Amino acid sequence: MKEQIVDAKLKNIQSNKDRLKIITTLAIPAVIENFFQTILGFVDTYFVSKLGLVEVSAVGVTNAVLAIYFALFMAIGVAANVRIANFLGANLPEKARHISQQSLVLAILFGLLTGVITLFFAEPLLKLMGIESNVLDAGSLYFRIVGIPSIFMSLMFVLSAILRGAGDTKTPMKISIIVNIVNAVLDYVLIFGILFIPEMGIVGAALSTVFARVIGSIALIYYLNRSKVLAFRMDYWKLDKVHLMELTTLGAPAAGERLVMRAGQIVYFGFVVALGTNAFAAHQIAGNIEVFSYMIGYGFATAATILVGQQVGAGNLDEARRYAKLTTILTLASMSVLGAMLFFLGEWAGRFFTEDQEVVRNIGTALKISGVFQPFLAVLMVLTGAFQGANNTKFPMYLTAIGMWAVRTLLVFLLGIKLGWGLAGVWIAIGIDIAFRAVVLVIQFQRGKWMALEKAPEAESECHPQTTKETMSSCVNNY
């Protein structure tokens, strides 16, 4: 595997043009990767929609619960990504290798744990969504097939994050393309049947997803072990309390942020379910269309995390700020274009999923609202990535908790249910939450309150709240 971050180039950056080139070099493969990851959900929804709205709702509520699992896996990935970037920026490759393997140990443990939880509690977890009995039957079947082998979800999240932390955004992109081609082919074959293979319906959709993730995990392990920097060492598989604490300290707030969001999502999903099966199906389909706009945001957020993390590790705090600012501006412009596309083409896209005119109209309304708020979403996603790269995962967690519960969930109830605005009210509430959090992050960034430098990775008493640009590098090198 060829590491893609060019440390020498980063040290010789002189102009914003050079910085933008570095940003796009990292971000574009991540954007492409996110595109193909998005295709995974898109293809599932498209094929499942041909089975009926009950099946669409079943997959939707299952994915809402699985998002809690994703939160845990992504948190491990965030911690690994940031620490590896810090260490490589500080020229400590063995530390990067060690912590990458410790993050895989955590990924395996949490993957096994969530699999056991799914085995015994699939139906109770789905019942929290308040769904109808026919949706529960289909959902619990789909949930068990996809959720019990969740170790492969965990491995894919963390392995990709490790590679990106080393600046390799191309390998996760390539694997994502392979995984999604496999998933698309198996979706068609297993859902509808072909030749001697019987029609399996929603079971086929679940099995194709699992098979694709198994292949993706194996491929990522292969490429990671070929890396000169991060190849496995047998003695690094032993549990290391210091590194595990490092990952936990940084990853716990990231997990908390996502768990708070997913818990709130389950609550307001319950409000959407109360609007009826058709409304929830429209919400789910609109979400799967809208998520294409996220691919640019996540791609550039990945670049922001890597570049800010490396510059913080090297003690170049002013340069970290420049990268964060430039990445935000670039993403804002790109996602504004996507917002316009959602606004004008959303209803047309909805017709690919259903012929029900009421559902199509609801999809169009939801995506018009989403399009308006895309610029705020761009700022929110990239600045969150920058904060994480600066070792500050706590502030995004607190902000998400306030936004999700004091803004989004409350407004979904008031606008969608109490005032009777239906699905439009739900999406307006979501947009207001996004805008609120984006504005707060901008204010915090402008005030210079976005870096958490009180303790560099595994540093001891030399690192304190008054750590400065001049002392940060030596602080990291004492790791």
Non-local CB neighbours of 117 within 8 Å, separated by 6+ positions:
125
Q: Say what the pLDDT of residue 40 is.
A: 63
Look up residue 246 and give its two tokens. Answer: 């490092």
Q: Residue 155 in contact with residue 70, Cβ under 8 Å?
A: no
Examine residue 286 and state whether it is found in any structural domain, yes or no: yes
Examine residue 437 and state whether it is found in any structural domain, yes or no: yes
Examine residue 430 and state whether it is found in any structural domain, yes or no: yes
Average pLDDT over residues 95-99: 87
What mean pLDDT is reported for the chain?
83
Tens of pLDDT along 6-65? 454 455 555 888 888 999 999 999 888 777 766 666 676 678 888 887 888 788 788 878
Question: What's the pLDDT band for 71 if we cut at 50, 70, 90?
Answer: confident
| pLDDT for 436 beyond 90 | yes
Examine residue 467 and state whether it is found in any structural domain, yes or no: yes
Q: Say what the pLDDT of residue 473 is.
A: 36
Tens of pLDDT along 142-156? 999 999 999 999 999
| pLDDT for 119 beyond 80 | yes
Distance separating alpha carbons of residues 412 and 251, to the nearest angstrom: 29
Examine residue 408 and state whether it is found in any structural domain, yes or no: yes
Q: What is the pTM of this model?
A: 0.76
Examine residue 7 and state whether it is found in any structural domain, yes or no: no
| pLDDT for 454 beyond 50 | no
Examine residue 259 and state whether it is found in any structural domain, yes or no: yes
More confident residue, 337 or 241: 337
Q: Residue 295's closest CA among 267, 337, 266?
A: 337
Q: Residue 244's closest CA among 128, 140, 109?
A: 109
Within 10 angstroms of residue 46's Cβ, the number of other Cβ atoms is 17
Average pLDDT over residues 104-116: 93
| pLDDT for 269 beyond 80 | no
Highest mean predicted confidence (pLDDT) among 23-27, 71-75, 215-219: 215-219
Average pLDDT over residues 371-382: 96
Q: Say what the pLDDT of residue 384 is.
A: 94
| pLDDT for 365 beyond 90 | yes
Q: Say what the pLDDT of residue 462 is.
A: 35
Specify the amino acid at residue 96. A
Average pLDDT over residues 345-357: 86
Within 10 angstroms of residue 402's Cβ, the number of other Cβ atoms is 16
Question: What's the pLDDT band for 210 if we cut at 50, 70, 90?
Answer: very high
| pLDDT for 106 beyond 80 | yes
The domain tally of the chain equals 1
Question: What's the pLDDT band for 369 if we cut at 50, 70, 90?
Answer: very high
Average pLDDT over residues 209-218: 93
Tens of pLDDT along 77-94? 888 888 898 888 888 888
Task: Domain of residue 419: give its range.
Answer: 23-477
Examine residue 2 and state whether it is found in any structural domain, yes or no: no
More confident residue, 360 or 241: 360
More confident residue, 129 or 413: 413
| pLDDT for 304 beyond 90 | yes
Q: Say what the pLDDT of residue 248 is.
A: 79
Q: Say what the pLDDT of residue 334 is.
A: 92
Distance separating alpha carbons of residues 351 and 60, to the nearest angstrom: 18
3-state secondary structure the chain: CCCCCCHHHHHCCCCHHHHHHHHHHHHHHHHHHHHHHHHHHHHHHHHHHCCCHHHHHHHHHHHHHHHHHHHHHHHHHHHHHHHHHHHHHCCCHHHHHHHHHHHHHHHHHHHHHHHHHHHHHHHHHHHCCCCCHHHHHHHHHHHHHHHCCCHHHHHHHHHHHHHHHCCCCHHHHHHHHHHHHHHHHHHHHHHHCECCECCCCHHHHHHHHHHHHHHHHHHHHHHHHCCCCCCCCHHHCCCCHHHHHHHHHHHHHHHHHHHHHHHHHHHHHHHHHHCCHHHHHHHHHHHHHHHHHHHHHHHHHHHHHHHHHHHHHHCCHHHHHHHHHHHHHHHHHHHHHHHHHHHHHHHHHHCCCCCCHHHHHHHHHHHHHHHHHHHHHHHHHHHHHHHHHCCCCHHHHHHHHHHHHHHHHHHHHHHHHHCCCHHHHHHHHHHHHHHHHHHHHHHHHHCCCCCCCCCCCCCCCCCCCCCCHHHHHHHHHCC
